A = this chain, B = another copy of it.
Amino acid sequence: MIREPQPGTPIEELDTPALLVDLEALEYNLESMARFFADKHARLRPHAKTHKCPQIALRQLAAGAVGITCAKLGEAEVLAEAGVRDILIANQIVGAPKLERLTALARTCDVMVAVDDEANVTDLGRVCRERGVSIRVLVEVDIGMHRCGVEPGEATLALARRVAREPGLEFAGLQAYEGHLVMLPDAQERAARLREALATLGETCALLARAGLPAAIVSGGGTGTYDVSATTPPITEVQAGSYVFMDAWYLTVRPEFRPALTLLATVISRPTPDRVVTDSGMKSLTHEFGPPQPLGVVGLGLPRLSEEHATLEVTDPAAVRLHPGDRLRFLPSHCCTTVNLHDRYYVVRNGTLVDIWPIAARGRAQ
């Protein structure tokens, strides 16, 4: 069976596939983002869906984050158990088993959830009263992504009033995520369209304030938009997550952060001069944003992934001397979903293993 490698092991001796976190790059990203937020009115509440790892969440808090965002109740439970005290579950929590768990979680930390449905508000309020807890609620507003969320304006006000009337619930503000804009490649267009969407959201906030329901928290933003989100009213909290790791896509639009996440693979076959095959396919690397990128080797094409193999065309056979047993590192094309395939990070600094961090919330999809 697998024996975990000890700190001090050189990268070259790690078994593969292994998801590596470069601690220096991670720290650089944490510090860069903290420096950016130091003089902003908006606060950073980083999204833990990217890393699913208490060790990283605690570092984000130590760097000044106001709390942690996560996608799933199961992730929040893992983070709370590790000592995170202020958690936004940026999703609707629906169904009796989860509502029970949510109230249990609310006894161990400050938790916020999103709502966009009246019946869900009723259910939430009832179970909170039954269990004697109070939770903070953000009304989710659809600012153009067309996933969850009520319409801005009167519909938002109506649901906010519904929350405020419900004993056991505290109306804490709004959530509005511009998921339809974060991937726009052109920075100016991204900024302009986000400011437009936030102007509408600002009008809704004004409407709420006039109705005596000011939105203390307005949560939105991602790594693609954090700078605009953090400096444009009415946003008060930014949910950026991918900045800690970055990936091939985000690096094209966010050169101020460094790649901290790579997949270490082993060449298992060099069947012909023009082909290299590694032990890392779509069960170790995701590809919805394109293929992962091989690093540090000139003369290799992008990989074709099958389940457990990456097959790379060698465009310059004279230059590529890879043989079975040699290592190859890939830059993932999407950090969040790639992390979701792995159980642990091999944390490295200067080419040496310094720690292994369990991806403790992986698989906690419920």
Residues of A within 8 A of B (CB): 1-3, 13, 15-18, 49, 71-72, 74, 77, 91-92, 94-95, 97-98, 101, 104, 116-117, 119-120, 123, 142, 146-150, 179, 266-271, 275, 277, 279-280, 282-284, 286-288, 306-309, 311, 323-325, 336-337, 340-343, 363, 365-366
Once the chains bind, are A311 and B94 in contact (CB under 8 Å)?
no
Chain B residues within 8 Å of A343, by CB = 363
Q: Is the interface of A mostly helix, strand, loop or mixed?
A: loop
Once the chains bind, are B337 and A147 in contact (CB under 8 Å)?
no
Q: Which of B97, B142, B283 contacts A15 (CB 8 A)?
A: B97
A15 to B93, CA, bound (A): 12
Looking at A1, A49, A123, A280, the one whose CB has the most chain B CB atoms below 10 A away is A1
Chain B residues within 8 Å of A337, by CB = 282-283, 307
Once the chains bind, are B288 and A146 in contact (CB under 8 Å)?
no
Q: Which of B94, B284, B307 contacts A266 (CB 8 A)?
A: B94
Once the chains bind, are A324 and B277 in contact (CB under 8 Å)?
no
Once the chains bind, are A269 and B148 in contact (CB under 8 Å)?
yes
Once the chains bind, are A77 and B16 in contact (CB under 8 Å)?
no
Q: Which of B16, B49, B119 contacts A307 (CB 8 A)?
A: B49
A16 to B365, CA, bound (A): 8
Q: Which of B74, B101, B341 contacts A341 (CB 8 A)?
A: B341
- List of 6 A-B pairs having minimum Cβ-Cβ separation, nearest first: A148-B269, A92-B268, A15-B97, A343-B363, A71-B308, A94-B268
28 A-B Cβ contacts within 8 A?
A2-B101, A16-B366, A71-B308, A72-B308, A92-B268, A92-B269, A94-B266, A94-B267, A94-B324, A116-B269, A116-B271, A117-B271, A117-B324, A120-B324, A142-B271, A146-B275, A147-B306, A149-B271, A150-B271, A280-B365, A282-B288, A283-B340, A287-B288, A308-B365, A340-B341, A341-B365, A342-B363, A342-B365
Once the chains bind, are B95 and A307 in contact (CB under 8 Å)?
no
